[in-house]
């Protein structure tokens, strides 16, 4: 049966590529957009298969009304993709509390609001798939991206617990962790912290400059990545996590290896902290 997808942030990047891949698979996509002028353009993308709705994921009323409108029109939401988000560039000390709260509001609370909004219908249907577009930055820390790391780590922690809560209800969760893809995220989808501290030139600033420098030359093809996500959603036994691209896989394995080494090094001392029987 053809699926009904609700994808946040379909104006460009992974959101747009996912919409195209889902339609190619024979499904229908409702995409969220932040500008009224974008809605008709998205509707014309594949008439009868792509529908746009106005939604800022930070606006609780728009989230509730948007989900309700999709359910009224189509009767169900088979796949929710929490894709809308942005990156905050800056050392941890440089990021203001306001900048950090705005980062968390979009990347975590926005995704949480959509997740909570679709779950009642998915529970009633006893099926559904929630796809969280995280990042390898949601699994590993990167200098210059500490607060972006924090927002994606929060998303992943919530999603791990959610996957266990909804599994008995027939609902699945997929955490997608892309490495660098050519989605214009580093420029159009990122903000710089206003404060700059020279002492971080060799660490946080160097990493940020590197990320800005390879804009347009990232190895990942978002169309191919999107097609894999659709294939995973349609697979009979989808994973909880999908690291996307060789760089993401290599960084994930490096962290796992480092964790194992640290655990082993201090294991005896750690175990010895228990009460003696």
Q: Please give the structure tokens belonging to residue 85.
A: 């988000």
User: Parallel, antiparallel, or unpaired: how do β-strands 128-133 and 79-82 relate?
Assistant: parallel
CA angle 7, 238, 67 (to 5 degrees): 25
Q: Give the C-alpha separation, 115 to 127, whole Å.
A: 14
Residues 6+ apart with CB under 8 A from 50: 19, 23, 28, 29, 31, 42, 43
Q: Is the dihedral of CA 253, 255, 261, 266 positive or negative?
A: negative
Q: Please give the structure tokens belonging to residue 43.
A: 């509707």
Instruction: Cite the active site residues.
Output: 134, 148, 152
User: Which among 52, 174, 67 has a CA at the least distance from the CA of 120?
Assistant: 67
Q: Please give the structure tokens belonging to residue 100.
A: 């950090």
User: Which among 132, 56, 133, 137 has a CA at the least distance from the CA of 89?
Assistant: 137
């Amino acid at each position: 049966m053809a699926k009904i997808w609700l994808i946040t942030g379909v104006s460009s990047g992974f959101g747009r590529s996912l919409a195209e891949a889902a339609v190619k698979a024979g499904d229908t996509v409702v995409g969220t957009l932040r500008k009224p002028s974008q809605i008709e353009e998205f509707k014309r993308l594949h008439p009868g298969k792509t529908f746009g709705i106005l939604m800022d994921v930070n606006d609780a009323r728009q989230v509730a009304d948007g989900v309700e409108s999709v359910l009224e029109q189509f009767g169900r939401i088979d796949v929710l993709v929490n894709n809308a988000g942005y990156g905050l560039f800056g050392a941890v000390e440089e990021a203001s509390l306001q900048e950090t709260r705005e980062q968390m509001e979009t990347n975590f609370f926005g995704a949480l609001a959509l997740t909570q909004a679709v779950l009642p219908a998915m529970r009633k249907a006893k099926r559904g798939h929630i796809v969280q577009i995280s990042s390898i930055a949601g699994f590993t820390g990167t200098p210059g991206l500490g607060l972006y790391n924090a927002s994606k780590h929060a998303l992943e922690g919530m999603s791990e617990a959610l996957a266990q809560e909804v599994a008995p209800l027939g609902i699945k969760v997929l955490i997608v962790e892309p490495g660098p893809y050519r989605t214009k995220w580093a420029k159009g989808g990122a903000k710089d912290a206003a404060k700059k501290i020279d002492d971080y030139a060799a660490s946080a600033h160097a990493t940020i400059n590197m990320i800005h420098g390879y804009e347009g030359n990232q190895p990942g093809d978002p169309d191919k990545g999107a097609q894999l996500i659709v294939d995973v959603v349609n697979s009979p036994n989808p994973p909880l996590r999908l690291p996307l691209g060789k760089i993401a896989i290599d960084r994930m394995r490096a962290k796992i290896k480092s964790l194992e080494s640290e655990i082993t090094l201090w294991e005896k001392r750690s175990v010895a902290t228990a009460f003696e029987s």
